[in-house]
Structure 1
Amino acid sequence: MAHKSHRQKALQAQLEGPREISVVKPKKVKALPVAAASMDIDDDEGVVIAQSGSASAEASASSSGFAPLSAAEQSSVLKNEFRRVPIPPHRMTPLKREWVNLYTPMVEMLGLQVRMNVKRRAVEIKSSGHTVDSGAVQKGADFVKAFALGFDVNDAIALLRLDDLYLDSFEVKDVKTLHGDHMSRAIGRIAGEGGKVKFTIENASRTRIVLAETQIHILGSVQNIKIARDAIVSLILGSPPGKVYAHLKTVGARMKQRF
């Protein structure tokens, strides 16, 4: 116990003793370049305080090591963008027939360079000096891809004018594994007599649908694609068209109230 009390006394003496104050010398500030003219230097603490936002921007650019691109360099980046969209063999004849209507909006609206490569069976798109939008090449590629999937030119041109339109593709086998006559009946339920069911789904969901054998392609916004896809999935799983019509009518009424 005596040894323990001696320790306690030593600790108490250290706590009650005078505290040592460490003196820190102010840091020396090195000479700054021309940008230092717009800065104030606090000699007491060695801290540099920026007075203008431009000086801080220059400091961040120099710290990262990359200077911002000029307008000329940005335009040169747009010129080098290139895209090649393959065309299926059965869509080459419609492509040649609708070629004038296909390349005219891409040239006039987006300022792109477009050509048809017959040997490779593809449409090649390249940005030019008249291209202003950075996403113009992607829009043009989506437009040509929509036409290659089977959409009409007047429907696919909406991809160039609007930013919230997308393409969605899936197969009947992704929903349910069907073979033979069962597959034919499922496709018949989706199309309907004379395409009546397909037209009803398109008008109710404000989308465009293409049936290409077992593949189904939908063009529209994200919300409208979901509505059309749910209706098609219900038909594939065996729901009668009348039940699907009733559901689409309810959804259409909700959409009108929302807008």
Structure 2
Amino acid sequence: MQNYNSVGSSSGSAAGMEVDAVISARQQPAQKPNFPPLKPNKILDGQIQFRKIPVPERRLTPLKKYWLKIYTAIYDEMKIDICMKVKARMVMLKTLSDTPDISNLQKCDFCTPSCLALIH
């Protein structure tokens, strides 16, 4: 019969040393990688995003009247390229390579119809 109260000294001490080595390795702080921040246009692999906003026919004349104010606000503040297609009756928004935030396109997509509503 085996005596369960006694522990073998040779096998027990070797296992204890392995555990000590593992514990000491865990106590050292891990080195974190240092990656430079991605530019906003590199997040989507440099793809240019577009939005097409249809303009109702009754809003076309006021849009033409206030176009310069709308254009400068969106282009200068958000760094989004904007153009008006008169024949197609739509406003097109496009991200640029120096657009500071990707969500600016979504903000302008919301902003342009609200500008059209304010013109009314």
Instruction: Give the TM-score taking structure 1 as reference length.
Output: 0.35
- Larger RCO (CA under 8 A, 6+ residues apart): 2
Shift of 1:126: 1.1
Shift of 1:79: 6.1
Please name the residue that 1:91 is paired with: 59
Distance 1:44 1:82, change over 3 A: same
Aligned equivalents of 1:97 and 1:119: distance in 2? 16
Residues 79, 126 of structure 1: 8 Å contact kept: no
**Structure 2 residue runs without a partner (length 5+):** none
**Number of residue pairs matched by the alignment:** 110
Distance 1:69 1:75, change over 3 A: farther
Aligned letter for 2:98? H
Match of 1:75 among 41, 64, 67: 41
Q: What is the root-mean-square deviation in Å for CA atoms of aligned residues? A: 3.4
Residues 117, 124 of structure 1: 8 Å contact kept: yes
Aligned letter for 2:4? R
Q: Which has the larger radius of gyration?
A: 1
Shift of 1:107: 0.9
Aligned equivalents of 1:44 and 1:142: distance in 2? 62
Please name the residue that 1:111 is paired with: 79
**Structure 1 residue runs without a partner (length 5+):** 1-16, 27-42, 59-67, 153-209, 211-259
Aligned letter for 1:94? P
Please name the residue that 1:51 is paired with: 28
Distance 1:81 1:50, change over 3 A: farther
Aligned equivalents of 2:105 and 2:27: distance in 1? 42
Query: Could you report, residue by residue, the CA deviation over 1:34-87 in whole angstroms, capped at 9, with x for unpaired residues?
Result: xxxxxxxxx6225342634534x58xxxxxxxxx67534x43337623222221
Aligned equivalents of 1:105 and 1:79: distance in 2? 24
Quote the sequence identity (%).
22
Query: Could you report, residue by residue, the CA deviation over 1:187-232 in whole angstroms, capped at 9, with x for unpaired residues?
Result: xxxxxxxxxxxxxxxxxxxxxxx8xxxxxxxxxxxxxxxxxxxxxx
Please list every run of at least 4 consecutive aligned residues from structure 1 whose deviation after the TM superposition is greater than 6 angstroms: none
Q: Which has the higher helix share?
A: 1
Please name the residue that 1:18 is paired with: 3
Instruction: Give the TM-score taking structure 2 as reference length.
Output: 0.67
Matches within 5 A, 1:105-254: 105-148=73-116, 150-152=117-119
Residue aligned with 1:151, SS: helix
Aligned equivalents of 2:48 and 2:27: distance in 1? 39
Aligned equivalents of 1:122 and 1:52: distance in 2? 57
Aligned equivalents of 1:79 and 1:50: distance in 2? 44
Aligned equivalents of 2:103 and 2:89: distance in 1? 24
Query: Could you report, residue by residue, the CA deviation over 1:210-257 in whole angstroms, capped at 9, with x for unpaired residues?
Result: 8xxxxxxxxxxxxxxxxxxxxxxxxxxxxxxxxxxxxxxxxxxxxxxx
Residues 79, 129 of structure 1: 8 Å contact kept: no
